[in-house]
Chain A
Amino acid sequence: MGESGQGLGREGRLIAGMIDKIVPSVEAALADVSDGSTILVGGFGGAGVPEELIDALIAQGAKDLTIVNNNAGNAEIGVAALLKAGRVRRIVCSYPRTADSYVFDALYRAGKIELELVPQGTLSERMRAAGAGIGAFYTPTGYGTDLAKGKETRTIEGKGCVLEHPLAGDVALVKAERGDRWGNLVYRKSARNFGPTMASAAKCTIAQVYETVELGALDPECIVTPGIFVTRVVRVPRKEGGNRVPAGGVTRGISGRAAV
């Protein structure tokens, strides 16, 4: 935790009046993650997955984790790699079964992982509630279905609703495109997905970005996640071809820099 920044009740190095949430490495960003933590992991399919942070979490060694993610990992990268390393006790997600979710499938069938299946919008709203300080909420989603079994229900304005509780994280790992030292973030296209909501819902939010920029370089009208929701920012190198299909030399958009 930030040494000189401690007295401020927040993290970030305090050097000559400068808050700096940018940490030098993914290892430093994840050093204090403890066993048994609940970790919110951004991403939908392959978009917005904080792969470098997940790899560093595997190396860091925390175990007995609860992972919250839309999916349950694909092939053997990202969340699937974490599962394969045996670090996850429980997963909370909406769509674990995909064409290449074989790591999860095998663990689930062997009874080696708990699954809490949550409708996708309820998953997102439960995290929003956690971040927004809402005690619980009633939603029509899932009413009368197997996923509402055992939950309190109420009819509101003629509609059957299910009581859902907030879902908070100890840590959130999100992938953004660009960030500054105050923790302000912008994302890229549909890689934004769960990032902003998860950032608000964890005690410690760690954002990996491809670019760190000077304060003021992000248009204040277009900042998507304000820095108050972000604890640490770490820059990771763009991969060869990035998250883009390399064939044909895809040109990068300018999203994140402006309202694109």
Chain B
Amino acid sequence: MSYTKLTRDELAQRIAQDIPEGSYVNLGIGMPTLVGNHLPKDREIFLHSENGILGMGPAPAAGLEDMDLINAGKEPVTLLTGGAYFHHTDSFAMMRGGHLDIAVLGAFQVSVSGDLANWSTGGDAIPAVGGAMDLAVGAKNVWVMMEHLTKSGESKIVSRCTYPLTGIGVVRRIYTDLAVIDVTPRGLVASRPVPGLSFDELQRLTGVPLSPSGARAAA
């Protein structure tokens, strides 16, 4: 059977639908930012930005940009009615202190035990970490949003990360363009494969052991 990978927007929509009303959420730079475009209009969800914003709203209309009001990716945003500004130390207290319900982060690799590698590809690239390590250790739930495979077809879900680590055992759930994979004490549990993708095919592409959602753990 053939299958089609989710587009980035479809993936963002899937994640947005899974965010409960009332959640405090940080969307990482890059692909996770797209999730903000798909939040259900009938739910109140609080977006946090590391540079001191809670209740962050969408991008302003052209001509109404205010460069004193930007997101972590340095793009102009807006503030929802009821939103708040605060300084960096308070902002990172929210992040590190376990006050955020969900952080959606991009990743280069995630290991079977939830190790996250998303800040450096090593080598001689100039390193830059930003708030990635603080979010990784601090949010109650770290969700990763990434393509399942690298451009050359290797699984980004690995037995052990080969890229520099951002955090150890921090990832709870991985949303890929092929499926949703929960990181559990009993290993990785796969659910919601894209239509036409069998569990066996998903397992073959992933490489590391998966169990299908709903299966009983072997006694």
Please determine whether B128 and A94 come into contact, CB atoms closer than 8 angstroms.
Answer: yes
B130 interfacial by beta-carbon distance below 8 Å: yes
Please determine whether B85 and A192 come into contact, CB atoms closer than 8 angstroms.
Answer: yes
Docked Cα-Cα span, A143 to B133, in Å, equals 9
Which DSSP category, helix, strand, loop or mixed, fits chain B's interface? Answer: loop
Beta-carbon contacts of B46-89 to A below 8 Å, as 1s and 0s?
00011111000000001111111110001010010000011111
Beta-carbon contacts of B111-130 to A below 8 Å, as 1s and 0s?
00000000010000111111
B95 interfacial by beta-carbon distance below 8 Å: yes
In this complex, how many residues of chain A approach chain B with their Cβ under 8 Å: the count is 56
Please determine whether B66 and A248 come into contact, CB atoms closer than 8 angstroms.
Answer: no
Please determine whether B53 and A145 come into contact, CB atoms closer than 8 angstroms.
Answer: no
Partner of B134, one of A105, A121, A194, A197: A121
Please determine whether B51 and A119 come into contact, CB atoms closer than 8 angstroms.
Answer: no
Docked Cα-Cα span, A193 to B137, in Å, equals 21
Please determine whether B53 and A141 come into contact, CB atoms closer than 8 angstroms.
Answer: no
In this complex, how many residues of chain B approach chain A with their Cβ under 8 Å: the count is 44
Please determine whether B167 and A145 come into contact, CB atoms closer than 8 angstroms.
Answer: yes
B109 interfacial by beta-carbon distance below 8 Å: no
Q: 8 Å CB contacts to B: which residues of A218-260?
A: 224, 243-245, 247-250, 253, 255
Known contacts A44-B51, A197-B88, A250-B64; A143/B126 CB under 8 A: no
A47 interfacial by beta-carbon distance below 8 Å: yes
Please determine whether B69 and A189 come into contact, CB atoms closer than 8 angstroms.
Answer: yes
Please determine whether A160 and B168 come into contact, CB atoms closer than 8 angstroms.
Answer: yes
Which of A1-9, A12-20, A56-64, A122-130 lies at the interface with chain B? A122-130
Please determine whether B168 and A144 come into contact, CB atoms closer than 8 angstroms.
Answer: yes
Please determine whether A189 and B68 come into contact, CB atoms closer than 8 angstroms.
Answer: yes
Please determine whether A250 and B126 come into contact, CB atoms closer than 8 angstroms.
Answer: no
Known contacts A47-B68, A120-B92, A244-B67; A192/B129 CB under 8 A: no
- Taking the nearest CB of chain A, how far is it from the CB of B108, in angstroms? 14
Beta-carbon contacts of A26-67 to B below 8 Å, as 1s and 0s?
000000000000000000111110000000000000000000
Partner of B137, one of A95, A109, A140, A253: A140
Chain A residue numbers with a CB within 8 Å of B76 are 245
Complex A-B: 7 CB contacts under 8 Å: A117-B127, A140-B137, A143-B137, A143-B168, A144-B168, A187-B85, A197-B89
Known: A243-B67, A244-B65; 5 extra A-B contacts, CB below 8 A, are: A94-B131, A119-B134, A144-B167, A197-B88, A248-B62
